[in-house]
Structures are given as structure tokens and as C-alpha cells.
Chains A and B, each alone.
Chain A
Amino acid sequence: MTMRVPLHLRVDPIACDGRGLCAELLSELISLDDWGYPIIRDGEVPADLVRDARQVVRTCPKLALHLEERSAAR
């Protein structure tokens, strides 16, 4: 059994301009508010979604999405 570091998704609200790609690609963890900005589900990214999460982080055109160890201090 390997030790796994808990990973959390965090959006940088200043960098984000609400293109919404992330919610389309990772609807399990990301939804959009009424204005099209991403709402990240609370808690750590489940192990089976870490690969997808990394992919979405790379896909964000504004580089506003981050996958971090520990929950991010806001």
C-alpha cells in the first residue's frame, strides 16, 4: 500500500474569467455559478479523479486552476 498525499483543487478567482471548460471536463468536482464561474466541490480530489484533475488544470486557458497538496489557505 502506498501513502497518498491528499490533493485539493483551487481556483484563483482573479485569474479566472469564467470560460467554464473545467466544469465541462470535470463535472464530478466542478460546477458553475449563475454567472459561469467555477465552484469547486469541498474536500480532497478522489484518487480515481486525480488524473482527470491534472488534465483539467493543464487545460484551463487562464491557468487559474491549481491542484495542491493540503487545502489551500484562501
Chain B
Amino acid sequence: MVASLLLDQDGTDVVAPGASTALPRLLPRTGLPGPVGLADHLALHACMPHVGRGGASRGEMITLVEDSGLSGRGGACFPTAVKLAAVARQPGAPIVIANGTEGEPASSKDKVLMATSPHLVLDGAVFAALAVGATEAVIVCHPAVRPIVEDAIRERKAVRLDTVRLGAVDAAERFVAGEASAVVHWLEKGQPIPTPTPPRLSEAGLHGRPTLVQNVETLAQLALIARYGARWYRAVGTQTEPGSMLVTVIGAVRRPGVDEVAIGTRIASVLDGAGGVSSPPQAFLLGGYFGTWTGYWDALDRPLSQAGLAPLGAAPGAGLVAVLPSDACGLVETARVARYLASESAGQCGPCVFGLPAISSELESLASGGPCDTDRLERWLGQVDGRGACRHPDGVVRMVRSALVTFRSELDRHRRGLCCSPGGAPILPVPTA
């Protein structure tokens, strides 16, 4: 099956069953509830060509991923091929961790993907394992979807589909639990907390082994690239950010939920896919709770891509598009999310442990029309930014700073003791303790 890989590199399209540039690619097109079973999965996509005897070499597999331009879908958009190569060149027995933790309360895309297309995720885990020379892969799943993933693994074992050993375990249900080193620490010690760098996980991760931690959507994309090639993958998306991405659209839209769009799709079109706005909108939170608030009209015509959102200081992140209606208060939403994120600190680093609650209290006072020392708030944001072992404090600072800019006219009203929308229903979900 090396032939198909070489053909693709020569520039000839690889036509395989099910290959199409139409969307969705990852999510099933049937619209039927429940997961796509193994028989249907293989009927649609066939087996992965690079797997098994006589398959492509590890170097060829990684080159294929490099040619595709695939980047990580956990939020950081890191080039997948670089990550694969970093693990592949290490001595020792590597391991692959498929990260389906999705600790972000507003995001559902990884859960929906695993619940509907578990075999694409598993295929991708197998492909990644073979590419880095690993013989096992652990799927860390949100508990809501673990039974589905386990059923899928059983289906594959029954027909001896894989040469890679697959297993599924529950993810920890915390915000920080999805951070790569926290996933490793969770598997190793039962504590979902980030660990310091160095060492890099690619050098010494789970039990000291070279470890690849890859988001489940990234792996599902790999499963399709393995079959249909880099050119096919690049047929949608932009030149520099090719492919499709999963998005979670919530807030003031008629049909909130998960969708798959080409990277670079105008945000207005993303909203159309969710049935359009359901009430007059005022702002977006883009990327996730570590993301960026923007004015509604500022972002509406921007492409959903890194390049498209950079002028707004925003990024697609983990694919969250939250629409804030004009009868909600952005400061109230920000204060509630900041308090939740403060409570979700792993509790290891002083500036995060003390700084985030202090910032939250200041925001709560501001949100309720009480006194707020904005100079002190700015100083605290500066003192917390970049000062943890992980990016948790940085993410909170990014979100809060963008709120102070986006909702500045609201801020002035609050300082005069007025709030445009006291007591409205919360827009951004926060788990109750």
C-alpha cells in the first residue's frame, strides 16, 4: 500500500472509497443517532492503507502528515508532524495517548466525535502509534463516552483489526485535566495536575517513556489523511491552515451544537450552520475559556483561522464560538468564568493559587456594580501572566484582558453602579461544585 502514498506525493489524487472534499468529513453524514459501528465504518472508509505488513515506513508516514499541514486540535494548533517526529526519534518504547479529556465546559466537539465516529479516533491512534514506533495507545475519554469507545475497541479486537494494543480509560473531569502533562500525571498517579517542563513528554512522559499526547480530533483527521492523502486533506481550508475543524457553537444561536467547517470559514457562515442568531447579539467568546472576547461586528466577517482572527488578538483555539446576546452582561459572564477557572487551578503555583481568586473577586465586585480598582486589577493580571508551571494563569489573563477591552463601555456603566442586564440567565456554562 506504499504505492498510494507515493502516488499522492507525485501529485496524483488518491481516490479511495468515501473520499470527498465535501463536509462533514469527521462527523457521520447519516444523521442517525449513535456511533458508527465497525462494519459501517469500514464500508465507508475501508482499512487504513499504511497499516500492517508491507506498509509505509515511519518516515513516510510522518512525511505524509507533514505534507498535509495538519495541526493539533486541542487548542494550541501545534504542527502534528513535528510532534510525531519528536517522539519517533527518541530511544526507548514510546506510547500514544489519545486525549479526549475535553475539560472545557463550553466545548462538546471531542465528546460528539467520540460518540459518533469512535473508529476514526481509534484508527488515528493506531496510525500515530505506528508512525512513532509504539505498540500501544491509551484513549483517555470523557466518562460520558468511554463505554462507546470501549465497545468500538471490542469490535476491533474481535476481528483482530489492529497490531497496536488499544485501551480506554476515564479522563479526570477538571478543566486543567486536559493539559498534556496533566493527562500523563493522571494516568500515572491519579492526579490530573500539570508537571513542570523539562522534561518534555516526548522525551520522558508516561512512566518515563517517550509519549505522544494528541487530541482525539487530530487523530481522527490523521485517520482520513492516512487513507485519502495530503492533497485531499488540503482540498478544504486555507493554504497555510488546511483542512476542516470541529466547532462548538453555543449561546444566542437557534441550533447550538457541534459542527464541522473548513478552516477559514467566515464566522457568519459558522453561525448560519447553527441556525443563525436567536436574539440580538453583542459579542463573541472565541476559542474557549482561555480564548478572547471580541465585539460581534468586529468578528462576524473574519475567517475562523489563526490568520483570520490574529488581527483581533483571537484564535480558533479548541473551536468554541460562543455568541453573547445583547441582553446579557459580558462582565457578569467574565466574572463567573474567571471564578470557575480560579477554582480549577491545580493549586501548585503561588501566583495562580492567590492571583486568580484575587482577580475573580475584583471582577465580581465590578460585575455587581460594586467598587473596582482597575489599576490594581491590571497589575494583578500582569503579575499572574506567564508565572505558572502550565498555561492556566496565562489563559485566564488573556480572557479577562479581552473582556476589559470588549466591554469597556459596560465597564463605565458598572463603575457608575449600573448594569444593563441584571439577573439574566447565564450564557457560558460553568459546572456547579
A51 interface residue, CB < 8 Å from B?
no
Say which residue of B198, B350, B379, B383 sits within 8 Å of A13 (CB atoms).
Answer: B350
Task: Establish whether residues A35 and B351, one from each chain, have CB atoms under 8 Å apart when the complex forms.
Answer: yes
Question: Would B350 and A37 count as touching, CB distance under 8 A?
Answer: yes
Q: Which residues of A contact B383 (CB under 8 A)?
A: 33-34, 39
Does B354 count as interface, using CB distance less than 8 angstroms? yes
C-alpha gap A33/B356 in the complex (Å): 13
Interface assignment of B355: CB less than 8 Å from any CB of chain A: yes
Q: Kindly state whether residue B47 has any CB partner on chain A within 8 Å.
A: no
Interface residues of A in 1-36 (CB under 8 A from B): 12-14, 16-18, 33-36
Cβ-defined contact, A13 with B197, below 8 A: no
Among B10-18, B280-288, B333-341, B385-393, the stretch in contact with A: B385-393
- Measured CB to CB, the closest approach of chain A to B373, in angstroms, equals 12
The answer to the question of B428 belonging to the interface, with a C-beta cut-off of 8 Å to chain A, is no
Residue B380 at the A interface, CB < 8 A?
yes
Q: A34-B379, A37-B387, A73-B198 are in contact. Are A13 and B349 (CB under 8 A)?
A: yes
The chain B residue sitting closest to A11, CB to CB, is: B387
Residues of B178-229 at the interface with A, using a CB-CB cut-off of 8 Å, are 195-198
Selected from A14, A35, A36, the residue in CB contact (under 8 A) with B196 is A14
Please pick, from A17, A36, A39, A73, the residue contacting B387 in the complex, using a CB distance under 8 A.
A39
Chain B residues with CB below 8 A from A34, complex form? 354-355, 358, 379-380, 383
Q: Are B351 and A37 in contact (CB under 8 A)?
A: yes
Q: Which residues of A contact B379 (CB under 8 A)?
A: 34
> Is there contact, CB below 8 Å, between B197 and A74?
yes
A18 contacts across to B, CB distance below 8 A: 350
Number of interface residues of A (CB under 8 A): 14
Q: Is B348 an interface residue (CB 8 A)?
A: yes
Residues of B within 8 A of A12 (CB): 196, 389
Find chain A residues with CB under 8 A from B380 CB: 34
What's the nearest-Cβ distance from chain B to residue A12, in Å? 6
- Contact of A73 with B197 in the complex, beta carbons under 8 Å: yes
CB distance from B203 to the nearest CB of A (A): 12
Give CA–CA (A74, B349) in the complex, Å. Answer: 13
Which residues of chain A come closer than 8 Å to B388, judged between CB atoms? 13
Residues of B within 8 A of A35 (CB): 350-351, 354-355, 358
Query: In the complex, are the beta carbons of A16 and B350 less than 8 A apart?
Result: yes
Whether A14 lies near B358 (C-beta < 8 A) is no
- Residues of A within 8 Å of B198, CB to CB, are 73
- With both beta carbons as reference points, the residue of chain A lying nearest to B349 in the complex is identified as A13
Q: How far is the CA of A9 from the CA of B195 in the complex (A)?
A: 20
Cα A12 to Cα B349 with chains together (Å) = 9
1/0 per residue, CB under 8 A from A, across B373-405: the answer is 000000110010011110000000000000000
Cα separation A2 to B351 with both chains bound (whole Å): 39
A22 to B209, CA, bound (A): 35
The interface residues of chain A lying within 8 Å CB-to-CB of B350 are: 13, 16-18, 35-37
A70 to B196, CA, bound (A): 18
Question: Cβ of A33: which chain B residues have Cβ within 8 Å of it?
Answer: 351, 355, 383, 387
| 16 pairs from A and B in contact (CB 8 Å cutoff) | A13-B351, A13-B388, A13-B389, A14-B195, A14-B348, A17-B350, A33-B351, A33-B383, A34-B358, A35-B351, A35-B354, A35-B358, A36-B350, A37-B354, A37-B387, A39-B383
Q: Which residues of A contact B (CB under 8 A)?
A: 12-14, 16-18, 33-37, 39, 73-74
Chain B interfacial positions (CB closer than 8 Å to A): 195-198, 348-352, 354-355, 358, 379-380, 383, 386-389
Q: Identify the 8 closest CB pairs spanning chains A and B, nearest first.
A: A13-B349, A35-B354, A37-B350, A33-B383, A14-B348, A18-B350, A14-B389, A13-B389
